[in-house]
Amino acid sequence: MDSGERQLFEASLRQAVERGGLFDAVLNDVGWRDAVAEDPTVAASVFALQGELNLTSAALDDVVAVGLGVVPSAALAVALPAPGAAVPPAAGDGRTVAVSGLGTSRMLIAAEVFVVVQRDRMKALRVTADELDRRRISGLDSPGSWVEVSGSVEAVDVSDVDWDGGIAAARRAIAQELSAASRAMLRLARDHALVREQFGKPIGAFQAVRHRLADCLLAVESADATIAVAWADPSPFAATMAKAVAGRSAATVARNAQQVLAGIGFTAEHPFHRYLKRTMVLDQLFGTSASLTEAIGSDVLRSGKVPAVLPL
Amino acid sequence: MELAEFRAGLDRWLDDNEAALRPDPDKSATLDGQMAHTNTVKRLAFDAGWMRYGWPARVGGLGGSPLLRGYLGEALAARRLIEPGPYSLTEVLAPTMIDYAPAQLAAEMVPQLLRGEETWCQGFSEPGTGSNLGALTCRATRTENGWRINGQKVWTSYAQYADRCVLLSRTGTVESAHNGITALFVDMDSPGITVRPLQTMHDVAEFCEVFFDDVAVPADRLLGAEGQGWAVAMDILPFERSTALWHRGAYLHRRLQDLLDAAPDGSLSPRDVGAVLEQMYAFRARSRQTQYRLDAGERLGPETSIDKLMLGIAEQSLYDLVPAALGPAVVSAGDREGRAWRAEYLYSRAATIYGGSSEIQRNIVARRLLDLGPDR
């Protein structure tokens, strides 16, 4: 897509969301799967909107499928690593392998599930969805967004798969959603600081509040700069950096925005908590910011080499 | 010339001329030696053409994108052929002269700066005005032939070496604040100027007090118009936060590698190293966008405060690793490397103070980028 087509795509997506309806249905209507299969960077638009408006969808299945080298389909769910993990949801060299992972809401309605198995080389198989136990998770995030998937399946017809490509695709998309959600939290706090008055003036006039908000923007802009690199450079390293920085930035923004929003931001009726919870969940997917940071540092210390800098 | 061609040609030239460009370790242990060597490198690079790219022909340049200047400073800093502080001052002062000096003055002066024949300084801060630049009081009074300056500047980096000074002076009333400031280009050998170097805590006379006692400045040394000094200053600051920061970022990457090479096994934690690398990477990603905006001819503004904040954080996090990894050397080593790490660690404490403190940068972010309205 060129930038004109991209703008058109984003505008039609936003209009459709504003008309109402499930985000998955909207994505279907705009031909999202064909678009991302042709140009993976289209995911930037979808995950930015998803993060900004606190939407949920099964778009992550499609992104990971494309990254793994598989044609995405509404009938194909992808078994994702369990929360906190960045390893495939299945392992083992035997004829049967144990699956334990996570799915989006698509896991409940898909006909087929794509499972990556950790072996000497990464392998993949497709199983009928009925062969797996699938349970909605009642966790932190909005109900119905995530599904726990487990079971034992026959490892027949395994094929090679680009696991690193799948992980990188997921990290880029999740980083984008994290940053958009962070910007939304900042907007909530900033707008609140302009209207909430204490001591006869808006709290946004106080330097203590202003500097917290400035730190939020600093965090979001740091994330966006690394994410922009990751969309332009398909390397796993760029995607890992983007996810690590975006996860850390989201925590910074959440902490400061929460404090600025104070009491009202602690209520269930205020939208802030939905963003906070969503970013906490996203940080758990495909490697937490803490674990990625440690892995990046370990690689550097093991090799004794600072990775080559981004060239001008 | 395109960036790729420039990069390849410059890299080759740097390889071929390593011996002439490499600072003598003994001499470069002092600021005198560093200043002299920086000018030597500038002269060699100018004569070979590299230093002239990215600058317009009317000031002795060969044209081309400012990206070329970005890469030149990056390559010199990453190879440790220059000190980024004195070197990158060119990036701050030359654009001001090009934009605001009378054409003839710019054509005469800028080439001497680029070629390292002269060192210039920036007379902004005063004892009473650090962050609050708009309250400066160093006065310029009109005379028959120009201006007469009385007052004091402080934190003026490298003033003891400087041949010229881009000076902000008060020409209106103090109440006129930002509207009563005028920028002048002053010869540092003018009668009435006294420079007193200040010893810093890292044991370098990096900056100075500069006293002006009835200093005469000719009329043709006006930069911009009378009363336009604030605009001149505001246009300088984004340059300070673009190309110059890019150079410094490249230097920090090199120093992280040097630290890894010097640190005993097990002295650095993976988490700390990962966090520093992320900050430096994020800074570089951000600053890279800024270089390309400069290349596209965009006017840089308050958004460069984000770049400055990011670099301050990255620089201090990097040097925070130094006492952890090289503690004994930092506190007690008398050798050259130990002294260098000690000085750089101490100097890094100023990264959130100089060039507009982090508090001022956050004020700018809040006011200009988040549109939070007045802060009082």
Question: Considering the domain boundaries, does residue B201 fall inside one?
Answer: yes
User: Which one of A190, A217, A312 has the shortest CB-CB distance to B288?
Assistant: A312
- Do A164-299 and A70-161 fall under one CATH topology? no
pLDDT of res. B130: 83
pLDDT in tens, A80-99: 999 999 999 999 888 899 99
Nearest to A297 among B272, B284, B372 (CB): B272
CATH code for position B61: 1.10.540
Please indicate, yes or no, if residue B234 is contained in any of the structural domains.
Answer: no
A74 and chain B in contact, CB less than 8 A: no
Q: Is B165 among the domain residues?
A: yes
Q: Could you tell me the CATH number of the domain that includes residue B345?
A: 1.20.140.10
Whether B46 and B132 map to the same domain: the answer is: no
Q: Does B282 touch chain A (CB under 8 A)?
A: yes
- Quote the distance between the C-alpha of residue B88 and its chain's center: 5
Say if residue A144's pLDDT is above 80.
no
Q: Kindly state whether residues B144 and B184 are assigned to the same domain.
A: yes
Q: Decide if pLDDT at B376 tops 80.
A: no
ipTM, two decimals:
0.96
Q: Are residues B78 and B95 in the same domain?
A: yes
Domain A164-299: CATH superfamily, name plus number: Butyryl-CoA Dehydrogenase, subunit A, domain 3 (1.20.140.10)
* Residue B302 within a domain: yes
Mean predicted confidence (pLDDT) in B278-299: 96
Q: Where are the domains of chain A?
A: 70-161, 164-299
Q: Pick the residue from chain B with its C-alpha nearest to A201.
A: B376
Q: Collect all residues of chain A within an 8 Å Cβ-Cβ radius of residue B274.
A: 244, 292-298, 300
Residue B192 lies in a domain: yes
**Same domain for B301 and B317?**
yes
Domain region containing B299:
241-369
**B38-43 average pLDDT score:** 97
List strand residue ranges (DSSP E) for chain A, in order.
Answer: 76-78, 90-91, 96-104, 112-118, 123-128, 133-136, 146-154, 159-160, 197-198, 201-202
Please name the residues between 241 and 270 in chain A that touch chain B, using a CB distance below 8 Å: 241, 244-245, 248
Q: Both B112 and B127 in a single domain? A: no
What residue in B sits closest to A188 (Cα-Cα)? B370
Residues of B in Cβ contact (< 8 Å) with A195: none
Question: Rounded to an integer, what distance in angstroms lies between the CA atom of residue A159 and that of residue A161?
Answer: 6
Please list every residue in chain B whose beta carbon sits closer than 8 Å to the beta carbon of residue A211. 359, 362, 366
Residue B187 predicted with pLDDT over 90: yes
Q: Does residue A204 sit at the B interface (CB-CB below 8 Å)?
A: yes
User: Nearest-CA distance from B359 to chain A in Å?
Assistant: 8
Is there a domain that residue B321 lies in? Answer: yes
- How close, in Å, is residue B360 to chain A by CA atoms? 10
Interfacial B residues in 95-124 facing A (CB < 8 Å): none
Closest residue by Cα to residue B70 from B248, B232, B233, B304? B248
Does residue B279 sit in the same domain as residue B321? yes
Nearest residue in chain B measured CA to CA from A218:
B306
CB atoms A292 and B274 under 8 Å: yes
Say if residues A130 and A20 touch (Cβ distance below 8 Å): no
Percent of chain B with pLDDT over 90: 87
Same domain, B132 and B112: no
Per residue in A183-234, pLDDT tens? Answer: 999 999 999 999 999 999 999 999 999 999 999 999 999 999 999 999 999 9
Residues of B annotated as catalytic are 240
Could you tell me the sign of the dihedral formed by the alpha carbons of B116, B122, B123, B127, in that order? negative
In chain A, the residue whose alpha carbon lies closest to the alpha carbon of B65 is A312
C-beta atoms of B373 and A204 within 8 A: yes
Nearest to A250 by CA among A184, A304, A154, A151: A184
Among B257, B278, B367, beta carbon nearest to A306: B257
Cα torsion A63, A68, A70, A74: sign: negative
pLDDT in tens, B56-103: 999 999 999 999 999 999 999 999 999 999 999 999 999 999 999 999
Q: Is the pLDDT of residue A143 over 80?
A: no
Residue B282 lies in a domain: yes
CATH number of the domain residue B203 falls in: 2.40.110.10
User: Do B111 and B132 have their domain in common?
Assistant: no
Q: How many domains does chain B have?
A: 3
Residue B235 has pLDDT above 90, yes or no: no
CATH architecture of A70-161: Beta Barrel (2.40)
Same-domain check for residues B185 and B302 = no
